[in-house]
Amino acid sequence: MTAFRTAQPLAWAFHRGTARRRSDNPQVLQPRPEPGREDPSAPWIRLPPSLRVAAPLTDLVRGRVSCRVFRDEPIGFAELATLLRSGYGVTGATDDSTLLDRAVPSGGGLYPLEVSLLVRSMDGLPAGIYHYVPLADGLERVRGEAVPAPLIRYLFLGQPWAAEAAVILVFSAVCRRSLGKYGDRGYRYLLLEAGHAAQNVVLTATGLGLGSVNLGGFFDDELSGLLRLDIESEIVLYGVAVGHPAPGNRNARRGLDRLTGG
């Protein structure tokens, strides 16, 4: 068996470079949590009320399946609002509002993630690119025009279902928020947090009767440019495509023939 260190030297270097050792002297910096990225000059859209997802968690876990076959049908704006709040929203606050509760755990309570949206087909929200601002509970419009389907397929490494979904949620991270406290180890925490948020989204999508598929493959710099991110400080980590699933059973939704080209 080929050793991890030999087979994937870059991955090995990252893993060992961010490992904790007894001889380490961890940073003691305690940066104040930042409120998140916001552009006051951008057109503002307030989110509608969320929908209630009443299904038990066990049913959502069992019902979740990666969907690669979507119907060409818009999802509702309220459904999107529910996905965003469940994925990375504010869920409550202390009585004096000094501490906010959020939908996912975050190392040091620093919440380094940002959520961008590639909207293709949605009732109540024009196609385009948006940025979610959790603390203000709304969206900033980044680009007002639809992103062409061939460009979306290209950006996500030729995955056709990415261009056929109603919306793609893209999670990015402002690195200094975590790494300022945890050093290189903080990079691990960015990846973990993106996984927490994405899982919330896919389980909520399942409860709403929507299909979803996670997207880990994309051209980093080109996707960042489309979203107007500063690639020197904010990095794209993960995507989730959401839409109405095509009719059929779980295997039909998986679209395994699209993976094999059959």
Q: Contact at 8 Å (CB) between 75 and 243?
A: yes
Domains and CATH numbers, the chain: 42-260 (3.40.109.10)
The candidate with the shortest Cα–Cα distance to 220, out of 142, 128, 156, 146, is: 156
User: Dihedral of CA 157/162/163/169: which sign?
Assistant: negative
Buried b (16+ CB within 10 A) or exposed e, 120-158: bbbeebebbbbbbbbeeebbbbbeeebbeeeebbbbbee
Q: Name every residue whose Cβ is closer than 8 Å to that of residue 262 and which is 6 or more positions away in sequence.
A: none
What does each of the 262 residues of the chain score in pLDDT, given as a tens digit?
778 889 999 999 989 989 988 767 665 566 677 788 999 999 999 999 999 999 999 999 999 999 999 999 999 999 999 999 999 999 987 766 667 899 999 999 999 999 999 999 999 999 999 999 999 999 999 999 999 999 999 999 999 999 999 999 999 999 999 999 999 999 999 999 999 999 999 999 999 999 999 999 999 999 999 999 999 999 999 999 999 999 988 998 999 888 865 4
DSSP tag of 245: B
- SS3 annotation, 76-115: EHHHHHHHHHHHHCEEEECCCCCCEEECCCCHHHCCCEEE
Q: What is the model's pLDDT at position 260?
A: 66
pTM here is: 0.94
